[in-house]
A = this chain, B = another copy of it.
């Protein structure tokens, strides 16, 4: 797993086998999770995604979709019409990932107030 339980537990980096760096880091970027969630309702087209995901540039949407496709989370289908139509949808793997990430986001949502409070308190204390 890349995480090993030794006498002294060590946490590894640069380990090809490590899912933490290899997967979590992959979706820890600025846009992956947002795209994943934008697709949970069903397939969607490039420009539709672009308009639904606030603030994303076309460059980043393309790039992040490619990465997600590469990892098997997203399926890209081209319909050869004029003009061309391209649909993106979650694979089964992608749905699993989304569900799993969703739990984390839920936790974050539930504890968001605590975090903001801690942050505020920390900032106040460090001012003095």
Q: Interface on A for B, CB 8 Å cutoff? A: 1, 3, 8-14, 17, 19-20, 22-25, 27-30, 33-34, 37-38, 41, 52-56, 69-72, 93, 96-97, 100-101, 103-105, 107-109, 111-112, 114-119, 122-123
Contact = CB atoms under 8 A, between A and B. Distances in A.
A37 B11 contact: yes
A56 B24 CA distance: 17
A101 B24 CA distance: 9
B103 A11 contact: no
Contacts of A111: 23, 93, 96-97
Copies, count: 2
Nearest to A8: B52
B12 A54 contact: yes
Contact of A108 (B9, B23, B70, B116): B23
A45 to B, nearest CB: 12
A14 B118 contact: no
A9 B41 contact: yes
B70 A119 contact: yes
B108 A72 contact: no
Given A11-B53, A12-B54, A72-B118, 12 more contacts: A3-B105, A9-B41, A22-B115, A23-B111, A24-B101, A69-B122, A70-B123, A72-B119, A93-B114, A103-B103, A103-B104, A104-B104
